């Protein structure tokens, strides 16, 4: 089994409330892996644990064969894990391209003394970083907005900016937290295309998403959470036909929605 990310028996509690308990999952290299579940199921919490923002109470996280449990986010970034955020975490005082340039941090020369004295190498570095940032922006369709202040972009565009910024770290695995939330159908289509492009570049994608149509369409494996526990896992068909998922999570109304998504 060629698992890139392995989670074993992962759990965390906030003030006695068990937010996640006994989660096990394997994300294989090249997967587009979706995590779904009703509000409060613990999807974002799971991302926060995997990306090192919260320390887990129990369990083990293995990334590319290495135990990374409890490592801080910047160390995980070094090992090839990056993410986007459900609540946007944009650098609003920067231009669009600068946001992506920050993502190149790990691949830049970080010698402070060179920076202090503005050595010519820093200028060259800035130009290469700028170029690669522009390239990433064109992948998400934002090349034209490169020099605008980040705050001037629409919500959907900001979502794609976060994707470009995360890609700039050259991750092996990218966690996307509700990339299509709050996006109109056109923007959702754009996100869909972007995710496919990312996967085509060889990046493994894990996404949390509410838009079932999107999930069923692009992911090859789906993990269902409910109230902090695993409810089911499988491919789109298996999850769709799993009675527990339909009953506990989607309900009657969801069934029709799910039905629609099939067609």
Partner 1 sequence: MAEFLQFAFSGLTVGAIYALIALGFTLIYNASDVINFAQGEFVMVSGMTAVFAAAAGIPLPLAALLAIVVTVLFGILLHRLAIEPARGASPVTLIIITIGASILMRGLAAVFFDKNFHSLPPLAGDTPLNLGGAAILPQSIIVLIGTGIIVTALWLFLNRTLMGKAMLATAANRLAARLVGIDTSAVIGISFVVSALIGAIGGLLATPITLTNYAIGTLLALKGFAAAMLGGMGSPIGAVAGGLLLGLLEAFGAGYLSSQYKDAIAFIVILAVLFAMPQGLFGRASIERV
Partner 2 sequence: MTVHRFTSKPYMVVIALATLVLLLPLVLPSAFYLRIAALVFINALAVIGLNLLMGFAGQVSLGHAGFFGIGAYAVTLGPAYLGLPVWASLIGGAVFSALLAFIVGQPILKLRGYYLAVATLGLGLLISMVFTNEADITGGPNGMEVPRLVVFGWRAYGSQTWYWISGVSLVIGAWIAVNLITSPTGRAFRAIHDSETAARVLGIDVPRYKLLVFVMSAVYAAIAGSYFSLFDGFVTPDTTGFIRSIEFVVMAVLGGLGSILGSITGAAILVILPQVLTVFHEYEHIMLGLIMIVFMIFLPGGIVPSLAQRFRRRTA
Which residues are near partner 2 by CB under 8 A? 51-53, 72-74, 77-78, 82-83, 85, 89-95, 98, 101-106, 108-110, 112, 114-118, 122, 125-126, 129-130, 147, 149, 165-166, 168-169
| CB nearer to partner 1: pick between 30 and 73 | 73
Nearest-angstrom CA–CA distance, 215 and 224:
12
Tell me whether residue 14 or residue 92 sits nearer to partner 2 (CB atom). Answer: 92
* Interacting residue ranges for partner 1, rule: CB under 8 A: 14, 44, 48, 53-54, 85-87, 89
Contact 34, 219 (CB under 8 A): yes
Radius of gyration of the chain measured on its C-alpha atoms: 19
User: Taking the complex as a whole, how short is the minimal distance between the CB of residue 39 and partner 1, in angstroms?
Assistant: 14
Smallest gap, in angstroms, from Cβ of residue 158 to partner 2?
12
Residue 86 vs 95, nearer CB to partner 1 = 86
Minimum gap (Å) between residue 37 Cβ and partner 1: 17
Residue 26: contacted member of partner 1, partner 2, none (CB under 5 to 8 Å, by partner type): none
Residue 103 CB, nearest approach to partner 2 (Å): 5
Q: Give the one entry of partner 1, partner 2, none that residue 168 binds, where binding means its C-beta sits below a cut-off of 5 to 8 angstroms depending on kind.
A: partner 2
| CA-to-CA separations, 30 to 162, 175, 196, 248, in angstroms, rounded | 21, 13, 11, 30
Distance CA 229, CA 242 (A): 16
Q: What tokens does 239 get? A: 């999850």
**32-36 sheet: strands from edge to edge:** 81-83, 173-177, 204-208, 32-36, 221-226, 229-234
Which residue lies nearer to partner 1 by CB, 2 or 87? Answer: 87
- Answer yes or no: are the C-beta atoms of 40 and 65 closer than 8 Å: no
Sign of CA dihedral 70, 80, 61, 225: positive
Q: How far is the CB of 88 from partner 2 (least distance, A)?
A: 9
Partner touching 14 among partner 1, partner 2, none, CB below 5 to 8 Å by kind: partner 1
CB of 44 to partner 1, least distance (A): 7
Closest CA to 200 of 222, 179, 174, 178: 174
Specify whether the CB–CB gap between 7 and 61 falls below 8 A: yes
Quick one: what does residue 86 bind among partner 1, partner 2, none, with the CB cut-off 5 to 8 Å set by partner type? partner 1
Which residue, 86 or 132, is less far from partner 1 as judged by CB?
A: 86
Tell me if 32 sits within 8 A of 218, measured CB to CB: yes
Cα(86)–Cα(142) distance, integer angstroms: 20
Nearer to partner 1, 62 or 86 (CB): 86
């Amino acid at each position: 089994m060629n698992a890139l990310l392995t989670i074993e028996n992962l759990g965390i509690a906030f003030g006695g409330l068990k937010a996640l308990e006994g989660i096990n999952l394997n994300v294989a290299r090249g997967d587009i892996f979706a995590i779904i579940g009703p509000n409060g199921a613990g999807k974002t919490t799971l991302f926060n644990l995997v990306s090192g923002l919260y320390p887990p109470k129990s369990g083990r996280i293995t990334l590319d064969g290495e135990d990374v449990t409890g490592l801080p986010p910047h160390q995980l970034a070094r090992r090839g894990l990056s993410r986007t955020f459900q609540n946007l975490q944009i650098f609003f005082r920067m231009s669009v391209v600068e946001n992506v340039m920050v993502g190149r941090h790990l691949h830049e020369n970080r010698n402070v003394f060179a920076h202090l004295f503005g050595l010519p190498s820093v200028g060259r570095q800035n130009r290469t970083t700028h170029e690669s940032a522009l390239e990433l922006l064109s992948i998400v369709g934002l090349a034209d907005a490169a020099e605008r202040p980040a705050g001037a972009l629409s919500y959907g565009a900001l979502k794609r900016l976060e994707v470009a910024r995360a890609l700039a770290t050259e991750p092996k695995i990218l966690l996307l937290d509700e990339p299509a939330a709050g996006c109109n159908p056109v923007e959702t289509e754009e996100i869909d295309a972007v995710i496919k492009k990312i996967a085509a570049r060889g990046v493994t994608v894990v996404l949390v998403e509410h838009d079932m149509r999107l999930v069923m369409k692009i992911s090859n494996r789906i993990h269902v959470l409910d109230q902090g526990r695993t409810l089911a896992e499988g491919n789109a068909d298996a999850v769709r036909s799993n009675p527990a998922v339909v009953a506990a999570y989607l309900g009657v109304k969801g069934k029709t929605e799910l039905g629609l998504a099939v067609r």
